[in-house]
Amino acid sequence: MIHWHNDLEPEPPFIASTFNYYLSDDLDGYVEYDELTLELAKKTEGFLGYESFKSGNRGTFISYWKDMKSIEEWSKNPIHIEAKKRGIARWYAYYHSVISEVKRFHKKRA
């Protein structure tokens, strides 16, 4: 389920940033940075929402953004930069990310 910022579902087009990963065995500080970066992302202009899935050491985090400018601003956040450095150095055994434009959005209502 997507956690929309301010419970507002956006109209396309918008941007999805998908981060797929396998965690390493060295997770010292990971949980703290994970929580901190999410809270900071929520405060970034243009953040629309997120969803996250984890199974064992594999995960996917998708953040939704108003536009590429919003993602570019988020990428300049010093805490986010530090989290990426730590992730590369210790937390992730593997990762890849994809940024794509959402042109259509459908869902089944509960």
Domain ranges of the chain: 15-102
pLDDT, mean of residues 30-47: 96
Mean pLDDT value across residues 14-25: 98
Buried b (16+ CB within 10 A) or exposed e, 45-74: ebbbbbeeeeeeeebebbbbbbeeebbeeb
pTM, entire model: 0.93
The CATH number that domain 15-102 falls under is: 3.30.70.100
Residue 66 has pLDDT above 90, yes or no: yes
Contact 7, 97 (CB under 8 A): no
Of the candidates 70, 63, 11, 10, the residue with the CA atom closest to the CA atom of residue 39: 63
Q: What confidence score (pLDDT) does residue 50 get? A: 97
- Output the pLDDT for position 7: 81
pLDDT band at 15 (very low <50, low <70, confident <90, very high): very high
pLDDT band at 109; cut points 50, 70, 90 = confident
Residue 95 has pLDDT above 90, yes or no: yes
For residue 76, count other CB atoms closer than 10 A to its CB.
9
